[in-house]
Copies of this chain bind each other. A is one copy, B any other.
Amino acid sequence: MNDIAPEGELNARDQLIEAASQIMRDGDQVDLSLSELSLRSGLNSALVKYYFGNKQGLMLALLERDMRNIVNSLDALVAKDFSPDEKLRVHIRAVIGTYFRFPYLNRLLMRMVRDAAPEVSRKIADDYLVPISNAYKRLIDEGVQKGLFRPIDPGLFYFTVTGAADRFFSARLVLHHCFGQSEMTEQMRDDYADHTLDLIMPGLLSRNSA
């Protein structure tokens, strides 16, 4: 029935979410067709209505799956007791790793913010954007208090970090469609993470700590 080997153990609901994820990843887009979902998952597309109400409900469930993980990891990281700059390095590598696995994630987030009903947009903000923003604030504040970071706006810094990480998407598209290169490799991901950290961290560190 389901020919996607690693997902053999998933239940039907999770299979649909995973199929949506793969369609967005492979197609470089955040649009879904029910027929492609059915083909990928090996499941009847009527199950979309059953589990998620409609296609937008499925897209929200995929967003929930991928974003929940980010929010939880970030909260756990902030609570740890190693130094703020090390926390930030770990976090930035994790963000780049996440966008490497789910290159559609930022576009899906923005699509939902744009197209969902106002109360759903607001819930997306409350569930993901506000907690992430608060975690950035705590992390930056901690670094400033310890004399490690210069004071910067955590909100703007969040946009810089996600912006840099999201470039994987552009890079992948350009490499694929313009230069015929098939896939981004893990080596490229790691090189880009190194590059991003080397570029961003000196601007964040205070003059004393740099």
Contacts and interface: CB of A to CB of B under 8 A. Distances in A.
A162 interface: yes
- Copy total for this chain: 2
A153 B195 contact: yes
Given A198-B152, A199-B157, A203-B201, A178 B124 contact: yes
A177 B112 CA distance: 10
Contact of A169 (B110, B125, B171, B203): B110
B159 A167 contact: yes
Contacts of A204: 199
B125 A170 contact: no
A118 interface: yes
Nearest to A192: B156
A200 interface: yes
Given A152-B199, A178-B121, A203-B201, A164 B160 contact: yes
Interface in A141-161: 152-153, 156-157, 159-160
A179 to B, nearest CB: 7
A201 to B, nearest CB: 7
